[in-house]
């Protein structure tokens, strides 16, 4: 039913949608303190707003000139293996993830967060954990602002 309401909200001919796949991720209800992302309310909420960018109107987000998710994952993986995080790099990652959220690619956002968490678990470096937590807070703020919910991060 959510897919149909999304399709109906678009001003497209049905023929234009031939071959288009739709993937939806379940969001959780936002807690009063968005910054506490590890202890969230388990009640799910429905998406109230469509993504800012619809796939037919906005270009695919780019990260350092790369659009292919595999390339982006490799870049972020290599970044997480570097000796220390630079704020300018963290800002670029946050900007890209924000663009993905606006574009509606929540599944790739979750994949990138999962990748970062996996890479950083091995290191146990406080400065990297701070960068990850900051990125996660940014994601939750963006999800809350656009969809009035928070991303389920229990399975990261």
* Predicted TM-score (pTM) of this structure: 0.66
Specify the pLDDT at position 153: 82
- Tell me, what's the pLDDT at 118? 92
How many other C-beta atoms can be found within 10 angstroms of the C-beta atom of residue 149? 23
In residues, how long is the chain? Answer: 156
- CA 144 to mean position of chain CA atoms: 12
pLDDT tens for the 156 residues of the chain, in order: 566 666 666 666 666 666 666 666 665 555 444 333 333 333 333 344 455 565 446 788 999 999 999 999 999 999 999 999 999 999 999 999 999 999 989 999 999 999 999 998 887 788 999 999 999 999 999 999 988 988 888 777
Residue 95 has what pLDDT?
96
Strand partners for 150: 28
CB 61 within 8 A of CB 72: no
């Amino acid at each position: 039913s959510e897919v149909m309401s999304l399709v109906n909200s678009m001003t497209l001919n049905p023929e234009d949608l031939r071959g288009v796949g739709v993937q939806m991720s379940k969001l959780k209800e936002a807690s009063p303190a968005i910054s506490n992302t590890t202890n969230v309310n388990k009640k799910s909420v429905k998406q109230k707003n469509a993504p800012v960018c619809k796939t037919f109107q906005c270009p695919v987000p780019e990260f350092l000139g790369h659009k292919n998710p595999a390339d982006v994952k490799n870049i972020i993986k290599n970044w997480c293996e570097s000796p220390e995080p630079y704020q300018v790099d963290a800002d670029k990652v946050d900007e890209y993830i924000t663009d993905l959220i606006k574009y509606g690619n929540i599944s790739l956002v979750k994949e990138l967060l999962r990748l970062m968490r996996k890479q950083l678990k091995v290191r146990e470096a406080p400065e990297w954990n701070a960068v990850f937590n900051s990125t996660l807070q940014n994601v939750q703020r963006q999800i809350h602002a656009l969809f009035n919910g928070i991303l389920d991060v229990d399975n990261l």
